[in-house]
Amino acid sequence: MQLSRRRVHPRRAASLASVTALTLAISTSAGTGQLTADSAAPGSVAPVRSSALRPCMIHGHPNIQMPEGIPTPSGYARSTGTVHALTVMVDFSDAPGQGSALSRFAEFFPQTRQWFATGSYGRLDYRPEAPIRHWLRMPKPFKAYGIERGAPFDPGYRQLVQDIVAAIDPKVDFRRYDLLNVLATPNAGPSALDTVLSVTFAGNTDAPLADGVPVANASFIYSRQDDGSGSYAVTGYRVMPHENSHTFGLPDLYTQEGGTAVGHWDIMSEDWGADNDLLGWHKWKLGWLGDAQVACVTGHGTAAYTLTPLARTGGRKLVFVPLSSRAGYAVELRTREGNDAAVCRPGILVYRVDADVDTGDGPITVYDSQPGSGGCTRSPNVQAELSDATFLPGQSFKDTKAGIVISVVGKDRSGNFRVHVTRR
Ligand SMILES: [Zn+2]
């Protein structure tokens, strides 16, 4: 059965509202240095970026809550190296856990760990850890926390985090962990087919303290994203890498219209259905691409670049053409391999990144090389129209006003593509 768009939509609005609420918490504590070169995520190995790339390190206005800009503001979890994810399975008197807590854990791990290992080319070693192996019974019934779609951090989530901390603090040293995953028993709250409650509060330094540190980055997972197509065992974990990517500072790419801005080209746009990867821009932002893998096009005239498939380790992955200090065009090669299981037209993806557009408002827009075609995929829960958005040899993307042309000129035997970028 294919999940109808209508049923996916409530989640869109829900997460949007949640993010708005949570980022209020961020903005109250955002005075600690915005977007300076040394404000990358604390504890992370802040990538040293060459000055040639600086014009491409676009950044938004400081009041943008979850910006696409580079570098990511401080306060989020580290996105390279070893990341320890404290994971607890919770249940409630009005929603007692069914089956073992570890079977709930197994719905998401080790798949999430593998997804991050593959997508980051081994740069992110994600360690899910569940020191409490049974259901942790919360002191209040689920209903008492007032958790519903769009619920803000206060008061319900604050209470839930305080109750979790009180229950496990004697046994757990929170300073050892980079982020918190709370896996609620799936029978707490509505079905994900009706309302997806799953949410992340990221960079939230006003969160309750545990062992002297705020529980600033926490993902809460509810229900099961089971579309009934029979693929839950394979794809149902994908809400977890989506939510955790918020803890690394990535914004939502879906809008009130759903996945029409970016389609299935990034898990921050669509986390139902077949596996998908992150955009090259996000991989650069997270520190998963080295400087040599990114080209920043600032000169005038025509320059040639060879792009290797984004899913493969090594080689050039991203060409960026800045339009201003706040926005630009990104160019990358997407193929059906690695985390990209649904690509039906391998080729060059062109998209606009706008660091002045906030999470959920469409900070990234993919350009469709075949507008109105209906797309090439029949995969359930994959936005179809943009599935054939890629440009193939002989095709060009043009921004006449800005004087920019991005042409795909060829493909070699290894599957690499050659592009020409012209700036007037
Ligand atoms: Zn989200």
Average pLDDT in the chain: 89
How many Å lie between the centroid of ligand 1 and the Cα of residue 199? Answer: 7
Asked if residues 167 and 120 have their Cβ atoms less than 8 Å apart, the reply is: no
DSSP 154: I
User: Residues 175, 290: one domain?
Assistant: no
Ligand 1 centroid–CA 242 distance in Å is 6
pLDDT band at 395 (very low <50, low <70, confident <90, very high): very high
What would the mean pLDDT of 3-18 be, rounded to a whole number? 31
Strand partners, 249: none
Q: What's the pTM?
A: 0.89
- Say how many Å lie between the CA of residue 113 and the centre of ligand 1: 18
The answer to whether position 210 is within a domain reads yes
Kindly give the distance from the C-alpha atom of residue 351 to the centroid of ligand 1, in angstroms, as a whole number: 20
Q: How confident is the model at residue 5 (pLDDT cuts 50, 70, 90)?
A: very low
Question: Residue 31 Cα, ligand 1 centroid: separation in angstroms?
Answer: 24
Same-domain check for residues 24 and 133: yes
Query: Would you say residue 81 has pLDDT above 50?
Result: yes
Please classify residue 323 by burial: count the beta carbons closer than 10 Å to its beta carbon, then call 0-12 exposed, 13-18 middle and 19+ buried.
middle
List the single range of 33-42, 274-283, 307-316 with lowest mean pLDDT: 33-42
Whether residue 16 has pLDDT greater than 50: no
Residue 48 lies in a domain: no
Buried b / exposed e over 34-72, threshold 16 CB at 10 Å, is bbeeebbbeebebbebeeebebbbbbbeeebbbbbbbbb
CA–centroid distance, residue 64 to ligand 1 (Å): 16
Contact 382, 342 (CB under 8 A): yes
How many domains does the chain contain in total?
2
Q: Does residue 152 sit within a domain? A: yes
Q: Is residue 71 part of a domain?
A: no
On the question of pLDDT at 384 being above 90, the answer is yes
pLDDT value at 66 more than 90? yes
- Find the 16 Cα to ligand 1 centroid distance in Å: 8
Residues 353 and 228 grouped into a single domain: no
Same domain, 292 and 240: no
Q: Among 199, 223, 247, which residue terminates a domain?
A: 247
289 and 337 share one domain? yes
| Contacts of 415 by beta carbon, 8 Å cutoff, 6+ apart | 308, 309, 335, 346
Asked if residue 310 and residue 194 are part of one domain, the reply reads no
* Cα–ligand 1 centroid distance for 268 (angstroms): 6
For residue 259, being part of any structural domain is answered with no
Determine the Cα–Cα distance for residues 424 and 420; give it in Å rounded to an integer.
13
The position carrying tokens 């000169």 is: 299
24 part of a folded domain: yes
> pLDDT tier at 227 (50, 70, 90 boundaries)?
confident
* Residues 236, 326 share a domain: no
DSSP, res 70 = S
The band of 46, judged by pLDDT with boundaries at 50, 70 and 90, is low
Domain that holds residue 241: 5-31+77-247
Task: Give residue 162 CA to ligand 1 midpoint distance, Å.
Answer: 23
CA 393 – ligand 1 centroid, Å:
34
Same domain? For 300 and 240 the reply is no
The answer, yes or no, to whether residue 20 has pLDDT greater than 50, is no
More confident residue, 18 or 247: 247
| Contacts of residue 30, Cβ cutoff 8 Å, sequence gap at least 6 | 62, 73, 75
Question: Is 66 a domain residue?
Answer: no
Kindly give the distance from the C-alpha atom of residue 278 to the centroid of ligand 1, in angstroms, as a whole number. Answer: 13
Q: How far, in Å, is the centroid of ligand 1 from the Cα of 151?
A: 14
Distance 311 CA to ligand 1 centre (A): 22
Ligand 1 centroid to 407 CA: how many Å?
33
pLDDT at 228: 84
Query: In terms of Cα–Cα distance, which of 282, 213, 272 is closest to 248?
Result: 282
- In this prediction, residue 49 carries a pLDDT of 72
Give Cα 140 to chain centroid, integer Å.
Answer: 32
pLDDT per position as a tens digit, 188-211:
999 999 999 999 999 999 999 999
Distance between CA 366 and CA 261 in Å, rounded?
Answer: 6
Rounded CA separation 184/214 (Å): 21
CATH of the domain at 150: 3.40.390
What is the C-alpha separation between 362 and 154, in angstroms, rounded? Answer: 26
Tell me if 176 is assigned to some domain. yes
In this structure, are 285 and 333 located in the same domain?
Answer: yes
Cα of 105 vs centre of ligand 1, distance in Å, is: 20
In eight-state DSSP terms, residue 153 is I
Cα of 22 vs centre of ligand 1, distance in Å, is: 12
pLDDT of residue 406: 98
Among 205, 232, 247, residue at a domain's last position: 247
Ligand 1 centre to CA of 299 (Å) is 36
Is 70 exceeded by the pLDDT of residue 35? Answer: no
Q: How many angstroms does the Cα of residue 327 sit away from the middle of ligand 1? A: 22
Statement to judge: residues 306 and 414 lie in one domain: yes
What separation in Å is there between the alpha carbon of 15 and the centre of ligand 1? Answer: 6
List the 417-423 sheet strands across, edge first.
301-307, 417-423, 404-411, 396-399
Instruction: Please say if the pLDDT value at position 182 is more than 70.
Output: yes
pLDDT of residue 313: 98
Report CA(245)–ligand 1 centroid distance (Å): 8
Question: Does 341 share its domain with 234?
Answer: no
Give me ligand 1 centre to Cα 99, in Å: 28
Residues 395 and 308 in one domain: yes
142 is written with which tokens? 């689920």
